[in-house]
Amino acid sequence: MRIGPYQLDNQVILAPMAGVTDQPFRQLCYSKGAGLTVSEMLSSNPKVWKTGKSRQRMDHSGELGIRAVQIAGSEPSLMAEAAKVNVDMGAQIIDINMGCPAKKVNKKMAGSALMQYPELVEEILTAVVSAVDVPVTLKTRTGWDREHKNGIEIARIAERCGIQSLALHGRTRACMYKGEAEYDTIRAVKKAISIPVIANGDIRTPQQAKDVLAYTGADAIMIGRGAQGNPWLFREISHYLETGEELAPPPIAEVAETTINHVEQLHSFYGSFQGVRIARKHVGWYLKEQASNDEFRQVFNRLEDASEQLQALEDYFVTVEKR
C-alpha cells in the first residue's frame, strides 16, 4: 500500500491509541513487523504544546520507519497550524482524528463528534491539506450512531479534499468499543472512493485479518487493542497474508526479552517515576496475553523502583521458562 510518496512494507498498520502508542511502543511494533505506526493524538490547541506530555508525544528523534503523527481538534486554522508545527518536528504524514469516541474529546467538538458536521469536516480537511506538503490521512468511524451512519459521505468529502488514505473503524461513536465491529460500511466505503482504505476494528488474528481484507476489499488493516501485549501480531499477520502459513507463537525467551526491553525503554523515555507507572499497564497486557498471573501482576504493580521492576520481570520469566 502507498500513501503519497511512501510505500509501506506491508498491509498491517498500528492504530493510534492515546496513552499507548508512544515512541517506545511504536518502535517496538515497527521492529515486530508493523508496516506503519501512528502516534498518539496531539491536540491542536497551542496552549498545551509546551507541556511535558505534549513534548514527549512530539518527540520523533531517532525514530525508525515512516513518522505518522495524528492531530485532533475542531478549529480549521488551529488544525492547520498544528499540522505545520508537527511537520517541522519531523512528521512525514499527518493523520486527522475524527474517530475518537472519548467524552472529553467529543465535548470539544473533536474526534468522532465532527462526523455530525460534514461542512466543518470539509473545512478542516481543506485547511490541513493546504497547510502542509506531506500526505494527510484521516481516521473516522462509520457515523455518530446507528441512525446517523454517514461514513460514505465523509469518505467522499475526504477524497475530494485531497486526503491520501482513510482508516475506518467499524463502529459508530455511540458504540464506543462495545459489541462487534461491522465491516459492511467499510466495504461500501471502499467501493465509493478510489483512495486507499484501511479497515480497523476487532482484528486479533491472522485469519481475521485475511477475512476482513477479502470481505471489505480494503487496502490494509489497522491493529489497535489487539497489539496490546502482543506486538508479534504484526509479523504473524504479515507472514500469513504473504504465505498462508501461521507462525508459531513467540518462544518464552523472546517474550521475556521483549517485555524487559520494552520496560527499560519506558523507564528511559519517561524517566523512572513516570516510566514505572506506565510500565504497569503494558506488563499487565503481556501477562494477560501469555497466561494471566494475577499474583505476580499485583506484586509488580506495587513496585515503585525501576530496577526492582526489571529484576522482578527477570525472576518471573526464569520461573516461567523452568515450567
Q: Active-site residue numbers? A: 100
235 is in an annotated binding site: no
Q: In the structure, how many helices (H) and strands (E) does the chain have?
A: 13, 11
CA distance 267 to 313: 14
Residue 18 is labelled as binding a ligand: yes
3-class secondary structure for 108-144? CCCHHHHHHCHHHHHHHHHHHHHHCCCCEEEEEECCC
Bridge partners, 139 (sequence order)? 97, 167
> Annotation-wise, does 201 bind a ligand?
yes
35 annotated binding-site participant: no
Residue 9 marked ligand-binding: no
Is 284 annotated as belonging to a binding site?
A: no
| Contact criterion met (CB below 8 Å) for 168 and 185 | yes
Residue 17 annotated as binding site: yes
| 211 carries a ligand binding annotation | no
The annotation status of 92 as a binding-site residue, yes or no, is: no
16 in a labelled binding site = yes
Task: Give, rounded to a whole angstrom, the gap between the first and last alpha carbons of the chain.
Answer: 43
Q: 82-103 burial, b for 16+ CB within 10 Å, e for fewer?
A: bbbbbbebebbbbbbbbbbbbe
Q: Which residues contact 107 (CB under 8 A, 6 or more apart)?
A: 113
Helices 272-291 + 294-302 axis angle, to 10:
180
Question: Which residues are annotated as part of the binding site for FMN?
Answer: 16-18, 70, 139, 200-202, 224-225
Which residues are known binding-site members?
Answer: 16-18, 70, 139, 200-202, 224-225
